[in-house]
Amino acid sequence: MTQTVRDADAYILFELANTTYAIRSGDVQHMEMVEHITPVPNAPAHVEGVVFSRGQVVPAVNLRLRFGFPRAPYTLRSRLIVVQVEERRVGLIVDAAREFRNISADTIRAPNESITGLSGQYLAGIANIGDRVVLLLNIPEVIKSGVEVSSAEPALAEN
Protein backbone atom coordinates (compact mmCIF):
# COMPACT_ATOMS: atom_id res chain seq x y z
CA MET A 1 0.00 0.00 0.00
CA THR A 2 1.37 3.34 -0.93
CA GLN A 3 0.94 6.45 1.08
CA THR A 4 -0.42 9.53 -0.57
CA VAL A 5 2.07 12.26 -1.34
CA ARG A 6 1.14 15.93 -1.37
CA ASP A 7 2.43 18.63 -3.71
CA ALA A 8 5.55 19.56 -1.81
CA ASP A 9 6.29 17.97 1.48
CA ALA A 10 9.22 18.29 3.80
CA TYR A 11 11.38 15.20 4.01
CA ILE A 12 14.31 13.99 6.01
CA LEU A 13 16.91 12.48 3.70
CA PHE A 14 19.17 9.76 5.02
CA GLU A 15 21.91 7.52 3.70
CA LEU A 16 21.90 3.77 3.91
CA ALA A 17 24.41 1.62 2.08
CA ASN A 18 25.25 4.35 -0.40
CA THR A 19 21.64 4.96 -1.23
CA THR A 20 19.64 8.03 -0.35
CA TYR A 21 16.21 7.51 1.17
CA ALA A 22 13.60 9.98 2.30
CA ILE A 23 10.96 9.98 5.04
CA ARG A 24 8.23 12.55 5.46
CA SER A 25 9.22 14.83 8.26
CA GLY A 26 5.69 14.57 9.58
CA ASP A 27 6.35 10.92 10.32
CA VAL A 28 9.50 11.74 12.20
CA GLN A 29 9.21 12.40 15.90
CA HIS A 30 12.83 13.37 16.35
CA MET A 31 16.36 12.12 15.65
CA GLU A 32 19.14 11.08 17.96
CA MET A 33 22.68 9.91 17.79
CA VAL A 34 23.16 6.18 18.21
CA GLU A 35 24.28 5.44 21.70
CA HIS A 36 23.86 2.33 23.73
CA ILE A 37 21.22 -0.11 22.50
CA THR A 38 20.06 -2.81 24.86
CA PRO A 39 19.59 -6.05 22.93
CA VAL A 40 16.28 -7.83 23.36
CA PRO A 41 16.60 -11.60 23.28
CA ASN A 42 14.35 -13.53 20.93
CA ALA A 43 13.38 -10.38 19.09
CA PRO A 44 13.42 -10.44 15.28
CA ALA A 45 16.87 -10.28 13.77
CA HIS A 46 16.60 -6.75 12.48
CA VAL A 47 15.52 -5.42 15.86
CA GLU A 48 18.78 -4.29 17.33
CA GLY A 49 17.21 -3.78 20.73
CA VAL A 50 15.61 -0.95 22.67
CA VAL A 51 16.69 2.54 23.65
CA PHE A 52 15.30 5.02 26.09
CA SER A 53 14.07 8.05 24.21
CA ARG A 54 12.40 10.87 26.06
CA GLY A 55 11.47 8.59 28.88
CA GLN A 56 9.93 6.00 26.59
CA VAL A 57 11.15 2.60 25.57
CA VAL A 58 11.57 2.64 21.79
CA PRO A 59 12.57 -0.35 19.68
CA ALA A 60 15.62 0.27 17.49
CA VAL A 61 15.44 -1.33 14.07
CA ASN A 62 18.66 -1.80 12.15
CA LEU A 63 17.47 -0.62 8.78
CA ARG A 64 20.42 -2.20 7.05
CA LEU A 65 19.37 -5.60 8.30
CA ARG A 66 15.77 -4.85 7.56
CA PHE A 67 16.60 -4.18 3.95
CA GLY A 68 18.98 -7.10 3.68
CA PHE A 69 22.25 -5.18 3.71
CA PRO A 70 25.22 -6.37 5.73
CA ARG A 71 25.94 -4.77 9.07
CA ALA A 72 28.15 -1.73 9.32
CA PRO A 73 29.72 -0.35 12.47
CA TYR A 74 28.10 2.71 14.06
CA THR A 75 29.89 6.04 13.66
CA LEU A 76 29.53 9.62 14.79
CA ARG A 77 27.27 10.11 11.79
CA SER A 78 24.93 7.23 12.48
CA ARG A 79 21.48 8.31 13.49
CA LEU A 80 18.45 6.88 15.17
CA ILE A 81 15.36 8.31 13.46
CA VAL A 82 12.36 7.92 15.74
CA VAL A 83 9.27 7.67 13.60
CA GLN A 84 5.76 7.83 14.90
CA VAL A 85 3.00 5.96 13.14
CA GLU A 86 -0.32 6.03 14.93
CA GLU A 87 0.44 4.91 18.43
CA ARG A 88 3.74 3.28 17.68
CA ARG A 89 7.11 4.85 18.07
CA VAL A 90 9.95 3.01 16.39
CA GLY A 91 13.58 3.99 15.96
CA LEU A 92 15.36 3.37 12.66
CA ILE A 93 19.14 3.15 12.61
CA VAL A 94 20.68 4.65 9.48
CA ASP A 95 24.20 5.43 8.30
CA ALA A 96 23.75 9.20 8.24
CA ALA A 97 20.96 11.76 8.10
CA ARG A 98 21.86 15.35 7.47
CA GLU A 99 19.37 16.78 5.05
CA PHE A 100 15.97 18.32 5.39
CA ARG A 101 14.34 19.44 2.23
CA ASN A 102 11.17 19.77 0.36
CA ILE A 103 10.44 17.38 -2.41
CA SER A 104 7.84 18.49 -4.87
CA ALA A 105 5.38 15.95 -6.08
CA ASP A 106 6.26 16.40 -9.70
CA THR A 107 9.70 14.98 -9.11
CA ILE A 108 8.23 11.83 -7.65
CA ARG A 109 7.21 8.85 -9.63
CA ALA A 110 5.78 5.56 -8.52
CA PRO A 111 8.13 2.67 -8.04
CA ASN A 112 8.64 0.45 -11.06
CA GLU A 113 6.68 -2.72 -11.43
CA SER A 114 10.00 -4.35 -12.04
CA ILE A 115 10.90 -3.90 -8.39
CA THR A 116 9.51 -7.09 -7.05
CA GLY A 117 9.68 -8.80 -3.78
CA LEU A 118 9.85 -7.33 -0.34
CA SER A 119 11.83 -4.30 -1.39
CA GLY A 120 9.00 -3.11 -3.53
CA GLN A 121 6.69 -2.94 -0.55
CA TYR A 122 8.89 -0.52 1.30
CA LEU A 123 8.92 2.13 -1.38
CA ALA A 124 6.31 4.82 -1.65
CA GLY A 125 7.96 6.42 -4.62
CA ILE A 126 11.16 7.48 -6.31
CA ALA A 127 12.23 11.11 -6.59
CA ASN A 128 14.77 12.72 -8.85
CA ILE A 129 16.44 15.63 -7.17
CA GLY A 130 19.02 17.13 -9.43
CA ASP A 131 21.19 14.22 -10.42
CA ARG A 132 20.32 12.20 -7.36
CA VAL A 133 17.87 9.43 -7.06
CA VAL A 134 16.08 9.36 -3.73
CA LEU A 135 13.91 6.49 -2.59
CA LEU A 136 10.83 7.49 -0.61
CA LEU A 137 10.00 5.03 2.11
CA ASN A 138 6.67 3.63 3.13
CA ILE A 139 7.19 3.76 6.85
CA PRO A 140 4.24 1.68 8.07
CA GLU A 141 5.50 -1.17 5.90
CA VAL A 142 9.03 -0.74 7.13
CA ILE A 143 8.11 -0.99 10.77
CA LYS A 144 5.55 -3.69 10.32
CA SER A 145 6.01 -6.60 12.65
CA GLY A 146 4.90 -10.20 12.47
CA VAL A 147 6.42 -10.81 9.04
CA GLU A 148 9.85 -12.35 9.16
CA VAL A 149 12.24 -10.58 6.87
CA SER A 150 14.61 -12.71 4.92
CA SER A 151 17.88 -10.94 4.66
CA ALA A 152 18.76 -12.93 1.60
CA GLU A 153 16.93 -10.59 -0.67
CA PRO A 154 18.97 -7.49 -1.29
CA ALA A 155 17.15 -4.20 -1.39
CA LEU A 156 16.91 -1.91 -4.33
CA ALA A 157 19.94 0.28 -4.82
CA GLU A 158 20.03 2.67 -7.68
CA ASN A 159 23.24 4.40 -8.63
Q: Note whether 97 binds another protein by CB under 8 A.
A: yes
Q: Is the dihedral of CA 11, 14, 20, 22 positive or negative?
A: negative
Between 111 and 122, whose beta carbon lies closer to another protein? Answer: 122
Q: How crowded is residue 110: how many other Cβ atoms within 10 Å of its Cβ?
A: 12
Q: How far apart are CA 15 and CA 4, in angstroms?
A: 23
Build a one-symbol-per-residue string for 116-155: x at contacts with another protein by CB under 8 A, - elsewhere.
---------------------------x-xx---------
Q: Note whether 103 binds another protein by CB under 8 A.
A: no
Q: Note whether 39 binds another protein by CB under 8 A.
A: yes
| Cβ 4 to another protein shortest distance, Å | 14
Q: Note whether 85 binds another protein by CB under 8 A.
A: no
Q: Interface residues for another protein in 5-24 (CB under 8 A)?
A: 10, 12
Cα 109–chain centre separation: 18
Q: Note whether 73 binds another protein by CB under 8 A.
A: no
Residue from 56, 104, 112, 150 that binds another protein (CB under 8 A)? 56
Between 89 and 111, whose beta carbon lies closer to another protein? Answer: 89
Q: Which of 112, 15, 134, 125 is nearest to 63 (CA)?
A: 15
Q: Note whether 104 binds another protein by CB under 8 A.
A: no
